[in-house]
Amino acid sequence: MKLYKVWKDGQIVLSEQPGRYAGIKTHKIFGRLDCPSGEKKAHAENRVFFLTWNDAIEAGYRPCKVCKPEPDAAEEKRHS
């Protein structure tokens, strides 16, 4: 079984699920994995992956202005 490093509850943890979002530590920006902007171009040591939109927001990252990631319906219900 493959494990992925993702940010969860303030720390990097191992997960069976890959992150849904990629962030850049130096800019505190996150976006979708297929975003054509900087997430794919960032150096590996500056990348961080998030399982959920809320994980990224709680870590102090802002959504990318190019791909405009949004929380999925389940995340919106939890925080309404």
> Is residue 69 included in any domain, yes or no?
no
The total number of residues written for the chain in this structure = 80
- Number of domains the chain is built from: 1
> Is residue 17 included in any domain, yes or no?
yes
* Domain extent at residue 3: 1-30
> Is residue 6 included in any domain, yes or no?
yes
Q: What is the pLDDT of residues 25-75, one digit of tens each?
A: 999 999 998 888 765 577 888 899 999 999 999 999 999 999 999 887 666
Residue 37: per-residue pLDDT: 77
Residue 64: per-residue pLDDT: 93
Q: What pTM, to 2 d.p., does this model score?
A: 0.80
Measuring CA to CA, which residue among 1, 3, 5 is closest to residue 45? Answer: 5
Measuring CA to CA, which residue among 63, 71, 68 is closest to residue 30? Answer: 63
Alpha-carbon torsion 76, 67, 62, 17, what sign? positive
pLDDT, greater one: 20 or 77: 20
